[in-house]
């Protein structure tokens, strides 16, 4: 099998709209042991799939994913837009959404292009290639592989940072049994120096040390990946974030080099797409949620989690405007929403009688426990 000219691959990737592309041999991640220690410490939280033996085996040896794999093609696509006023994002009456989810679902943008690139490789090589395409879905440590492919270094916030583009870009990969005539040189392991802005700015102290993220305290994990009850001590620290968090990226000095994306699909079609009013989110039913977010990455967390997050943001806002919506949620079919709505109402009105009534009619054990804790906190204050 003849090595394929890497420059032809890169030209085609750029032609397809990708901003970054690198190629690295299909070797295990250099930081696999650190990942295993992270899992052993339980910092993956409720993301049990990260600790599954079959997924760890794939990270340990990419041949488990694709037998005979020789190379990993890694691409990046910018998503920064800079079109939403910071004042609107910081408005406590609006729920803040991480910038990567302002537009269309990135999976739907990157995956077809990666598949096109993989098909082009097969046609141009003239060989029956074995290939797999991933966009944030495969059991591989993609930021580590992207580092090895020359796309950036690992920041203290655990993000992959390109020294001339910042960290606001998506990653995608092609695993292939094709070899190339040259492979990229890894970036420096880190270029953060003495800077600790990201660590200091995190409102929930999610970084126990540089380059280590405790997902259990991360706002992005709590609002997206975590399906259950948000720890009560973290709720007041979450501000108005309802989907993801950008804080540790926004404060990074390398973000001053971030370029606005040319991909219009990532632009929000309105201010409400980036920072929807909390009263609107609290009023969402299943049909309204689907109508609003069916083309967005937000769709995957479902109505229950998004409204749960909005309850916390509403409690942190403290405005009477949300009270009628929160009171309606006390009778929602979801115990998770009933409990979080009670917490928010207590933050706003501090009405022990109202929480007592909600507790007296509650039948779900976890909701009872949360409402009881809310009532106890009111009595102690």
Instruction: Express each pLDDT in 306-350 by its tens digit.
Output: 999 999 999 999 999 999 999 999 999 999 999 999 999 999 999
pLDDT (0 to 100) of residue 137 = 84
Q: Examine the pLDDT at 77 and tell me if it is beyond 80.
A: yes
Q: How many CB atoms lie within 10 A of CB 233?
A: 9
- Name the one residue in this structure whose structure tokens are 């060989």: 127
pLDDT (0 to 100) of residue 110 = 97
% of the chain surpassing 90 pLDDT: 92
d(CA 239, CA 34): 31
| Residue 136 annotated to the active site | yes
Identify the CA nearest to 78 among candidates 216, 299, 325, 255: 255
End-to-end Cα spacing for the chain:
73
Of the residues 78, 105, 136, 205, which is catalytic?
A: 136
Q: Are 223 and 241 in contact (CB under 8 A)?
A: yes
Ranges 49-53, 106-110, 370-374: which has the least confidence = 49-53
| Mean pLDDT calculated for residue range 214-224 | 98
pTM of the entire structure? 0.96
The predicted-structure confidence for 156-171, as pLDDT tens digits, reads as follows 999 999 999 999 999 9
Q: Examine the pLDDT at 1 and tell me if it is beyond 80.
A: no
d(CA 200, CA 87): 22
Q: What is the mean pLDDT of the chain?
A: 96
pLDDT (0 to 100) of residue 218 = 98
Q: How many CB atoms lie within 10 A of CB 12?
A: 16
pLDDT band at 125 (very low <50, low <70, confident <90, very high): very high
pLDDT (0 to 100) of residue 83 = 84
Identify the CA nearest to 64 among candidates 4, 1, 136, 138: 138
Q: Examine the pLDDT at 187 and tell me if it is beyond 90.
A: no
């Amino acid at each position: 099998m003849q090595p394929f000219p890497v420059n032809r691959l890169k030209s085609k990737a750029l032609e397809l709209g990708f901003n970054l592309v690198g190629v690295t041999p299909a070797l295990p991640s250099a930081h696999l042991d650190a990942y295993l220690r992270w899992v052993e410490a339980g910092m993956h939280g409720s993301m049990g799939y990260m600790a599954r033996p079959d997924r760890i085996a794939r990270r340990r040896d990419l041949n488990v994913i694709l037998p005979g794999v020789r190379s990993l093609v890694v691409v990046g696509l910018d998503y920064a837009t800079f079109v939403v006023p910071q004042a609107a994002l910081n408005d406590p009456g609006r729920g803040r959404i991480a910038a990567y989810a302002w537009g269309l679902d990135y999976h739907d943008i990157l995956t077809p292009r990666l598949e096109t690139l993989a098909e082009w490789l097969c046609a141009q090589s003239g060989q029956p290639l074995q290939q797999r395409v991933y966009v944030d879905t495969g059991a591989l440590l993609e930021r580590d592989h992207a580092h090895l492919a020359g796309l950036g270094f690992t920041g203290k916030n655990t993000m992959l940072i390109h020294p001339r583009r910042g960290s606001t870009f998506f990653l995608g990969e092609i695993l292939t049994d094709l070899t190339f005539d040259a492979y990229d040189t890894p970036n420096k392991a880190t270029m953060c120096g003495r800077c600790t802005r990201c660590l200091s700015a995190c409102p929930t102290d999610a970084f126990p040390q540089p380059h280590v993220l405790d997902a259990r305290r991360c706002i992005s994990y709590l609002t997206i990946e975590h399906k259950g009850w948000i720890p009560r001590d973290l709720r007041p620290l979450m501000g108005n974030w309802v989907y993801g968090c950008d804080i540790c990226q926004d404060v990074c000095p390398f973000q001053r080099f971030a370029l606005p994306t040319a991909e219009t699909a990532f632009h929000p079609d309105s201010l409400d797409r980036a920072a929807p009013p909390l009263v609107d989110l609290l009023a969402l039913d299943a049909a309204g949620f689907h109508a609003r977010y069916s083309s967005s990455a937000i769709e995957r967390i479902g109505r229950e989690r998004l409204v749960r997050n909005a309850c916390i943001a509403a409690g942190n806002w403290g405005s009477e405007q949300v009270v009628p919506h929160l009171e309606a949620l006390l009778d929602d079919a979801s115990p998770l929403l009933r409990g979080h709505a009670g917490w928010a109402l207590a933050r706003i009105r501090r009405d022990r009688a109202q929480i007592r009534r909600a507790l007296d009619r509650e039948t779900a054990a976890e909701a009872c426990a949360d409402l009881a804790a809310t009532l106890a906190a009111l009595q102690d204050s």
